[in-house]
Amino acid sequence: MNNGPTGSGVGRRGAVGLLAALAARPAAAQAAWPDRPVRLVVPFGAGGASDTLARTCAQALADELPGHSIVVENRGGAGGTIAGAVVAQARPDGYTLMLADLGANAIAHEMMRGLPYDPPNAFTPICHLTNLPVVVVVKPDLPVRTAAEWFAFAKERAATPLTYAHPGIGYPSQLAHEMMLQMTGTKMIPVSYRSGAEVMRAVISGECDCAIPTVSSSLPFIREGKARPIAVLTAARVPQLPDTPPMADTLPGFEASVWNGIVGPAGMDPALVARINQVFIAIMRRTEVVARVQTSQAAQVVAGTPGEFGTLIKAEIARWTPLIRANNLRAE
């Protein structure tokens, strides 16, 4: 008489166990990530700071997880949105990732029209890797040595404005420059160049009065006296330029940097995101990786959580969108 109900209970328990086992399969598969090569799409060409960081990560992964690899794929052009489109349209399985930056992942939706993806919603934040400090430099014969003197001199020269070099509309340095000018009511004329190297050449030759390059790209010229640093845009001084104060001393609260991180397509499973985040944190904490990014890029290693990186991206969107709209900036 009791066989029916007891059999039913066993059947229900068996069904629950089967469902639990099926549900566990994706988690087990995610825990095994990676089980094949990972494609890391870089939104710039070979040889630059982003490419160097990507290849440093690729080598470190091979050391951290022997037998596994990251394949770096350079997809430069269109302000990083070519790479962004590739990743946004990929499967959210953890095998197509992107080296994220301000352009493709935070401001492209305001700078460009007709994108094949929506930057604020097209990606899954995974890990904030580094911040690269930037510095205001002026040509050696410009009679200023501080940020306050720089702004004052620019205002005195209103009839014949100073020129500032930048690598393109919408690049972090160009946006930072425009925000500082807006905050101080100062006028300067932007001059666009094709690369950061050309920007530095424009300043050291005197073709332009000033620029905001990364510390790593400008340091050799600063040490040779070919460019003068007047302020870093980090919250505190940087070790490579200990005598150069932060811009926040002149403009309280002002801070800007070039950042890089890892994102994947939207819709990634949180367990998979956590697994990939753990791997990249381990990579970025390796002694040789820290030494390399600090030496070659003067970079600060962050290696934060997915939530922290997502918060940063949202904050950058909120910060720069009003400036882009107010100045009607459009990518070149």
Residue intervals in the chain for CATH 3.40.190.150:
31-131+258-326
Q: What is the pLDDT of residues 166-194, one digit of tens each?
A: 988 878 889 999 999 999 999 999 999 98
Q: Which CATH architecture has domain 135-249?
A: 3-Layer(aba) Sandwich (3.40)
pLDDT value of position 8: 47
DSSP 164-182: EEESSTTSHHHHHHHHHHH
Largest Cα separation within the chain, whole Å, is 102
CA 29/CA 113 separation, integer angstroms:
38
pLDDT value of position 194: 83
- Which residue has better confidence, 9 or 232? 232
Q: Reply yes or no on whether the pLDDT at 20 is more than 50.
A: no
Q: Reply yes or no on whether the pLDDT at 18 is more than 60.
A: no
DSSP 101-136: -HIIIIIHHHH-SS-SS-TTTSEEEEEEEEEEEBEE
pLDDT value of position 282: 96
pLDDT value of position 113: 76
Strands 162-166, 123-133: pairing is: unpaired
Per-residue tokens: 120 = 């604020």
pLDDT value of position 31: 56
Q: Reply yes or no on whether the pLDDT at 131 is more than 70.
A: yes
CA 292/CA 96 separation, integer angstroms:
25
Domain 31-131+258-326 has CATH 3.40.190.150: yes
| Full strand arrangement of the beta sheet holding 188-192 | 188-192, 162-166, 210-211, 135-138, 228-232
Q: Reply yes or no on whether the pLDDT at 130 is more than 80.
A: yes
pLDDT value of position 48: 78
Picking from 93, 22, 40, 101, the residue whose alpha carbon sits closest to that of residue 275 is: 93
Residues 6+ positions from 60 with CB-CB distance below 8 Å: 283, 286, 288, 289
CA 258/CA 173 separation, integer angstroms:
8
Helix axes 196-204, 215-223, angle to 10 degrees: 30
Residue 326 to residues 1, 104, 247, 296: CA-CA distances in angstroms? Answer: 80, 20, 23, 36
Q: What proportion of the chain, given as a percentage, has pLDDT over 90? A: 68
pLDDT value of position 78: 77
Residue intervals in the chain for CATH 3.40.190.10:
135-249
pLDDT value of position 328: 85
If phi over 0 gives left and psi between -120 and 50 gives alpha, with beta otherwise, what is residue 47?
A: left
DSSP 265-280: ETT--HHHHHHHHHHH
Average pLDDT on 35-42 reads 95
Q: Reply yes or no on whether the pLDDT at 332 is more than 70.
A: no
CA 271/CA 292 separation, integer angstroms:
30
pTM, rounded to two decimals: 0.83
CA 257/CA 150 separation, integer angstroms:
20
On average, the pLDDT of the chain sits at 88
Cβ-contact 201, 167 below 8 angstroms = no
Q: What is the pLDDT of residues 245-287, one digit of tens each?
A: 999 999 999 999 889 999 999 999 999 999 999 999 999 999 9
pLDDT value of position 260: 94
Q: Reply yes or no on whether the pLDDT at 3 is more than 70.
A: no
Q: What is the pLDDT of residues 299-317, one digit of tens each?
A: 999 999 999 999 999 999 9
Q: What is the pLDDT of residues 59-83, one digit of tens each?
A: 999 999 999 999 999 998 877 888 9
